[in-house]
A and B are shown apart, each in its own frame.
Chain A
């Protein structure tokens, strides 16, 4: 099935508790914001028909529980994911720091065929709030380090950038197969990653 174009996209939304995963999903699918959501237990699920490159595809969006102790239970949902959306709250630095862990955990649990180039998208949510604590630059830097993950600043409440972000998500998910080949021609990308491994903290790992 290497090059078969899918008409069904499976998208997983990950991120810490209360960063706005459920709200983002509902804003995108139902075009509506509510502050009356319950905390997600296990997982929630919505679908939406989207048009990407003149093709109609069904997007299955899986919204997951954010509390740390639920993280290892995510495996059941990760199976066959086409794209992973990492969400953090721009007013809560910890939620940004934890992106690493969410990403690693996803890659380990989902075991995509090409982990280096699996399509992620990062959303910095709640930009409508005043007490912002994670700068756009910092978030972008992180995304760059991780093989240039696309980054969007969103507000589920105001509906800022949500539509656009999910469009990109759909596009990247669809383009996944093609991109793999493309990326392979850019050795710089790989070196970026290698540089990171050379940091002294990781010396134990590879310098032997």
Chain B
């Protein structure tokens, strides 16, 4: 990368020259290659501790011995070499022809400068905005933590992390999904990666951030005080986003975490890295929406200081103007003094006002159709006006689309209170009129409608109870539902008609509850009321399918319908479910459960004595659910609960909390006297039923209820006692905290109940099983992350789960797909040591009976259980089956899987920044790259001189290798090495090209094919012998039959060789006893071949791939030839044995050689090393814990 040329004073410290020419030097920073000299370590440490990340390669221009200009730098060697080559071909000759040093320097600098400007311009703003430091840090972050390319780094902080009481200085990286720590101190590397979704608790002090994760691990990071709150806020925000994603029902459309919407925001003025700025903007935008109750898709554009003229007070109030695509809002600096919301669509004009007494104060006038608003002291007035006019130009004013024809069977029901009048006493009517008058006075003074000046004066009126006539207007206004309604005209009718046209199970649920909503009101004993309620609920179920219909929605909706027309009731419900009580009504009622946690914490804070007692009785969870979900409508008499709803629309969920606390406080003594939950419930029931409202009466009560308290007193007391302390902001903070706890509790609860359900399994202890479930859950997320890199979403082939049990649904979430299976198998079982045959693939195919591409938990537990158990016979039998055709087919025998490269354990103490000099292919290796296979395969085979038809065979095997790998990956051929190693930046592209996962579609196709073959086989009348067992499904059947070993088919020699190799690899090394067992078995097989020729019918493989036995023989030889791979040296001794054996018994036809499982198992089990290995129980707990540790340290997965 060309840079702005700059002169250097100390060109040699920490750098070594790699290439030099007459006028240029290419240098590499110390500590960035494989060497581990002291100076390398030192520089590594200095760079790491000083949190400095210079690019490790650079080119200097040296016109003379003392003068150096840095002209280019790069992160990879390839990149710098490219620049070097350019210099070489374009400048070297030209410079040689020049005469003076000055001329040379000027020319070079000039040239480089233009190159630099050219590249930066062509790359656009995108690149320059991300400060180059962040970019380098991001590259390092991805490298150290093996993160995929699209794992974007948000920011990084110098940080210390205390581990085992030793503080380590390093760097805290915060990316979109992880918070990571990396330090490198004199040869000791510390790595830590925590996924946001596993964080349970986040706390901060002035210099520390504490994090607790789901496994109950605690981490604390010390930061510069300046950055603590920024980092803390970031972690909180990203954690919330991660949890939101977790809570999403996989079937419902995903909430886009797309940040692009924020990017136009004051882009050029900010110097912060892009992503960080976007996240901050997002956070501000959230606050903005919550504060002004704006629609969910509104994105804050910016804010500007200004004063607002408040005519009622005849003075200016200072505050901020907020601008977003559809709204102009104002918020006073003094909390609650005055707020204003003006939808842009009603703005007629916005212009400068440069006359009048304060003409020099940068005033503007915003006029709507009804009124005008005067703002002053706007420092960037022109900018603001420009912004407003550009937003106005883009505003989309929704129009009610002309509809062809309405379904005439229904019409919008007006507020039900008009039809179903309630007789009020004169006194009550009088009271209503007084209130009405107060409100009219208020409107006169502060304005009416959306653009009214919102001051604290409103709450004083609201708390008295809104008069019936104004409820619709004020509810819509205060809740913000009006904005949604006006931006979506006609949507309600559409939804009603669409939902009426199709019947769903949700409709049944709604139908059942229609008469159980507000039965005491006459409107809901009549078809009009019921019909309206049905339409509202059905329309909403269609609008928000993640929620559908939840009980309690019927109750609140019917209250809305009494005072509002049907369409407004619908929008109120939408605003309730989407903004005011987020996630309350979804399929797990998460929101309400989170708020139960919040309430619990508030109780412990404000009523500590009572809290301990209620906790003991376990009562808080019982009572609060109905309070939250129905906004007290289902527990307090309707006419009183209405007043609570009035306040609720003004103040949001806060009202529910303060009233709940007041109710508890009021009954504290009685509750403290309760001995069990039942008594406490009774206290609540009596009290809540007795809340009365003398100003308003629905019906004459048929039964006398003991009055406890008036709702007016309750509201006033609640506000005066708790209103100040419990702010909406505080509730939001507590919600964040409890969202973490609640969501993780869900997983824990689910897993515990699954464990209980599986308590009869014979393989694992409950604790082991629980850990396994956690591991499955975590690994699935890991894999999802990696698959995202490959640009492919996992293909869901599984049929929709039958709805016959909720337990089944829970278990369904722990289905294991092949990728997950492979990872877990390799991490957790001793059989992962076998690398010449891909046992995980075979085992998966064997177990996945229905070819769904995933194993259910039952199947998974069983296979894993067998492999980890101490049941040697069963394990050997399984291993035997795995090596039978069609699982181990002929093509595979010919081309054994490339063995894993031997790794020297976990990387210890590598150079701090060794990634710069690393061969990028190393990192690519983490991803499966089939081209690798081909490459090695090809070269290996070409060196094979024993084969006469070397060329033919190698071609053939290449093809078959392709065929095999294509089970999982489609090869894109001819990827030149140059392309592959171009740079780290194109990392993901390479993997995209190299390995495009096709996933299970192909697997299941493959197995279907083999099943088809089986069908053919079984249809053949000639199959009189027991050979039908050769098919895959028969193998599955055999596997399920634990008892008889008779049906298990005999094994051919080639398969047996593979089996033996696997066996040796699992055991680890071959000893004399094993070799003896091997020769014995070979002899047994031969005896069998000689004695019984009848039995040697066609094997499945030959049926499947018609071909002469000679060819099979040839290829068999190829496979069995002594391999040149170093890693297979373990097995080489026994292969030497094969060779000697073959030559001596060349006369025996390979076809006839067979061995039976009854011969195999006893022989093998007699060998001590094998029996020791297979008879050993593997502790799943240990291996899972080890795996989790590795994950935390980001030890790369290599399979």
Q: Which A positions have Cβ atoms within 8 angstroms of B?
A: 8, 10, 17-18, 35-43, 45, 47, 60, 65, 67-73, 75-77, 79, 97, 100-101, 104-105, 108-109, 111, 203-208
12 contacts between A and B (CB under 8 A): A36-B520, A38-B518, A38-B519, A38-B634, A40-B551, A41-B634, A43-B625, A97-B804, A204-B858, A204-B859, A207-B1040, A208-B862
What separation, in Å, do the CA atoms of A8 and B679 have in the docked complex? Answer: 11
Q: Are B749 and A67 in contact (CB under 8 A)?
A: no
Q: Which residue of the partner chain, among B512, B520, B550, contacts A69 with CB atoms under 8 Å? A: B550
Asked if B512 contacts A18 (CB within 8 A), the reply is: yes
Cross-interface CB contact of B749 among A39, A41, A70, A72, cutoff 8 Å: A72
Q: A37-B519, A73-B589 are in contact. Are A67 and B756 (CB under 8 A)?
A: no
* B509-A42 in contact (CB<8A): no
CB of B517 within 8 Å of the partner chain = yes
Name which residue of chain A comes closest to B511, CB basis: A18
Q: Report the bound CA distance from A153 to B1122 in whole Å.
A: 78
Which chain B positions have C-beta within 8 A of A101?
804-807
> Which of B128-136, B420-428, B757-765 touches A?
B757-765
Complex: how many Å from CA A74 to CA B757?
Answer: 17
B67 in the interface (beta carbon within 8 A): no
Q: Which residue of B lies closest to A203 (CB)?
A: B1040
User: B513 to chain A: closest CB distance in Å?
Assistant: 5
**Any A CB within 8 A of the CB of B580:** no
A47 to B681, CA, bound (A): 10
Residue of chain A at shortest CB distance from B629: A41
Q: Count contacts on B: residues with CB < 8 A to the other chain.
A: 54
Nearest B residue to A77 via CB reads B622
B524 and chain A: residue at smallest CB distance: A36
Report the bound CA distance from A204 to B849 in whole Å: 12
Chain B 407-418, CB-CB to A under 8 Å as 1, else 0, gives 000000000000
Residues of B within 8 A of A97 (CB): 804
| B:731-781 near A, CB below 8 Å | 749, 753, 756-757, 760-763
Residues from chain A with Cβ under 8 Å of B517 in the complex: 38-39
Query: Residues of A contacting B805 with CB < 8 Å?
Result: 100-101, 104
CA distance A122 to B678 in the complex (A): 23
Contacts of A38 in B (CB 8 A): 516-519, 555, 634
User: What is the chain A residue whose CB lies nearest that of B515?
Assistant: A35
Closest chain A residue to B514 by CB distance?
Answer: A39
- B515 proximity list for chain A (CB < 8 A): 35
Interface SS, B side: helix
Given contacts A10-B678, A104-B807, A108-B757, contact A39 B859 (CB under 8 A): no
Q: Is the CB of B625 within 8 A of A73?
A: yes
Asked if B676 and A39 sit within 8 Å, CB to CB, the answer is: no
* A45 and B625 within 8 A (CB): no
The reply to whether B519 and A35 contact each other, CB–CB distance below 8 Å, is: yes
Chain A residues closer than 8 Å to B806, beta-carbon distance = 68, 71-72, 101, 105
**CB proximity of A83 to chain B, nearest CB, Å:** 14
- Tell me the smallest distance from the CB of A58 to a CB of chain B, in Å: 8
Distance in angstroms from A173 CB to nearest chain B CB is 14
User: Contact between B550 and A39 (Cβ–Cβ < 8 Å)?
Assistant: no
| Total inter-chain residue pairs, C-beta < 8 Å | 117
Q: Is B623 close to A, CB under 8 A?
A: yes
Question: Is B552 positioned at the interface, with any CB of A under 8 Å from its CB?
Answer: yes
Q: In the complex, A102 Cα to B626 Cα: how many Å?
A: 21
Q: How far is the CB of A161 from chain B (nearest CB, A)?
A: 23
Q: Shortest distance in angstroms between A206's beta carbon and chain B's nearest beta carbon?
A: 6
Contacts of A68 on B, CB cut-off 8 Å?
Answer: 806
> What residues of chain A lie closer than 8 Å to B763, measured between beta carbons?
208
Cβ contact within 8 Å between A207 and B1042: yes
The reply to whether A109 and B807 form a contact with Cβ atoms under 8 Å apart is no
* A67 and B509 form a contact (CB under 8 A): yes
B593 within 8 A of partner (CB):
yes
How many angstroms from the CA of A131 to the CA of B484 in the assembled complex?
44
Q: In the bound complex, what is the Cα–Cα distance between A205 and B757 (angstroms)?
A: 11
* A68-B806, A206-B760, A208-B862 as given contacts; A18 in contact with B634, CB under 8 Å: no
Query: In the complex the two chains form, what is the Cα distance from A77 to B681 in whole Å?
Result: 11
CB distance from B870 to the nearest CB of A (A): 14
| Known A70-B551, A208-B865; further 20 A-B contacts with Cβ < 8 A | A17-B509, A17-B512, A17-B513, A38-B518, A38-B519, A39-B516, A39-B555, A41-B629, A42-B625, A45-B678, A65-B551, A69-B589, A73-B589, A75-B749, A101-B805, A204-B858, A205-B760, A206-B762, A207-B1042, A208-B866
Whether A39 touches B678, Cβ cut-off 8 Å, given contacts A18-B512, A69-B588, A76-B622, is no
Residues of A within 8 A of B513 (CB): 17-18, 39
Q: Which of B516, B589, B807 contacts A70 (CB 8 A)?
A: B589
In the complex, the 8 A-B pairs of residues with the closest C-beta atoms, listed nearest first: A42-B625, A36-B519, A42-B626, A41-B626, A18-B512, A76-B621, A60-B678, A45-B681
Taking CB atoms, residues of chain B closer than 8 Å to A208 are 762-763, 862, 865-866, 1042
Task: Report if A18-B516 is in contact (Cβ < 8 Å); known contacts: A42-B622, A42-B625, A111-B756.
Answer: yes
When the two chains form their complex, are residues A45 and B589 in contact, meaning their CB atoms are under 8 A apart? no
Question: For the complex, what is the distance from the CA of A10 to the CA of B859, rounded to whole Å?
Answer: 39
Contacts of A104 in B (CB 8 A): 757, 805, 807
Let me know if B554 is at the binding interface, CB within 8 A: yes
**In the complex the two chains form, is B634's CB within 8 Å of A79's CB?**
no
| Residues of the A chain whose Cβ atoms lie less than 8 Å from the Cβ of B626 | 41-43
Interface centre among A36, A47, A203 (most CB of B within 10 A): A36
Bound Cα distance A18, B804 (Å) = 19
- B540-558 vs A, CB cutoff 8 Å, 1 = contact: the mask equals 0000000000111011000
B 502-530 binary contact with A (CB < 8 Å = 1; else 0): 00000001001101111110000000000
**Are A43 and B622 neighbours in the complex by a CB distance under 8 Å?**
yes
Q: Given the complex, which residues of A lie within 8 Å of B586, measured CB to CB?
A: 69
Write out the residue numbers on chain A whose beta carbons fall within 8 Å of the beta carbon of B807: 101, 104-105, 108
Minimum distance in angstroms from A137 CB to a CB of chain B: 22
Instruction: Give the shortest distance, in Å, between B769 (CB) and chain A (any CB).
Output: 14
Please judge, given known A-B contacts A45-B682, A205-B760, whether A39 and B552 are in contact too, CB under 8 Å.
Answer: yes
Choose among A41, A72, A73, A206 the residue that contacts B555 (Cβ–Cβ < 8 A): A41
